[in-house]
Structure 1
Amino acid sequence: MPLTFRRLAFFCAFLCFALALIWGMGADRLLAFWDIPHSEVSALMGRRLAALLLGVGVMFFSVRNCPPSPARAALVRGFMVGCLALALLGMYDWLSGHAGPGILVSVFAELALGLGFISVGNGERASLRQVQASR
């Protein structure tokens, strides 16, 4: 089963909705998994992150069936950069002792998503060239 934008967008929407629920209602459990103490500040940031993830999930669910376009390509590039940056930050936080080994689960997931979007992004560029050539 080849990786397509539609499948990846649907998966990302589902993942963002699940993470919004987790961060919104159970941030303390996720932070404990990462060996990070729960505090009022982390709870506040978790709720704010939940709202942002909910919005990103809605964006990906909304565009899952859209044809290749510069806007869709921008969404792919932006999310790819965000995922890879999160993976790098997670590695930094683990190596520096700011987070426990539980964060590596998130790092691997972010790396996989980033690489998935690189793969889909390569297809996006080829599709955009075909669309532009046909005009």
Structure 2
Amino acid sequence: MMIRFKTLAQLSSALCAVLFCAWMFAPATLLHTWDVAYADSAGIVARRNAALFAALALTLYLVREAPAGVARASVCAGFALGSAILAALGVFEFASGHAGAGIGSAVVVEIAMAALFALRWRDDHAQLRPSLARP
């Protein structure tokens, strides 16, 4: 059974809120888990990215009740794409030696989120365009 959009949006919103707090208030701790040295420049980027996680958390929370439609499909597609890119970047940074094995936990979560949002998008998209429905 496919996860309901409301549940997926609420869980993702909570995850983004936690990431906002971590990147805003403890960026050195997160970077340490990835074996990445903290520097003032990394802190600036981390706190600026925290703002993006806050925006995602609020957006996902507010859209949780949205019916299947273009707006909800767009949120799903965008979040799936962003999560997939983050996962690919994590793998690349690990493979190139810029991050340690600790980044693997982030990659696993990002792959899961990308897959769940992509599946939710596919199912919503099929409802909007019945000719694309699964056989």
TM-score of the pair, normalised by structure 2:
0.92
- For structure 2, the residue ranges without an aligned partner over 5 or more in a row are 131-135
User: Is 1:29 matched with 2:29?
Assistant: yes
Residue 133 (structure 2) aligns with: none
Q: For residues 31-50 of structure 1, what are the structure 2 equivalents within 5 Å?
A: 31-50=31-50
Residue 59 (structure 1) aligns with: 59
Instruction: Tell me by how many angstroms 1:129 deviates.
Output: 3.0
TM-score of the pair, normalised by structure 1:
0.92
User: Is 1:11 matched with 2:14?
Assistant: no
Instruction: Tell me by how many angstroms 1:2 deviates.
Output: 4.1
Q: Once the two structures are aligned, what percentage of the paired residues are identical?
A: 34
Per-residue Cα deviation, 1:8-47 (whole angstroms, up to 9, x for no partner) = 1001100000000000000000000000000001110111
Root mean square deviation, CA, Å: 1.1
Instruction: Tell me by how many angstroms 1:127 deviates.
Output: 2.4
Instruction: Tell me by how many angstroms 1:4 deviates.
Output: 1.2
* Runs (4+) off by over 4 Å: none
Q: For residues 1-135 of structure 1, what are the structure 2 equivalents within 5 Å?
A: 2-129=2-129
Per-residue Cα deviation, 1:77-112 (whole angstroms, up to 9, x for no partner) = 011011001101100100110000000000000000
- For structure 1, the residue ranges without an aligned partner over 5 or more in a row are 131-135
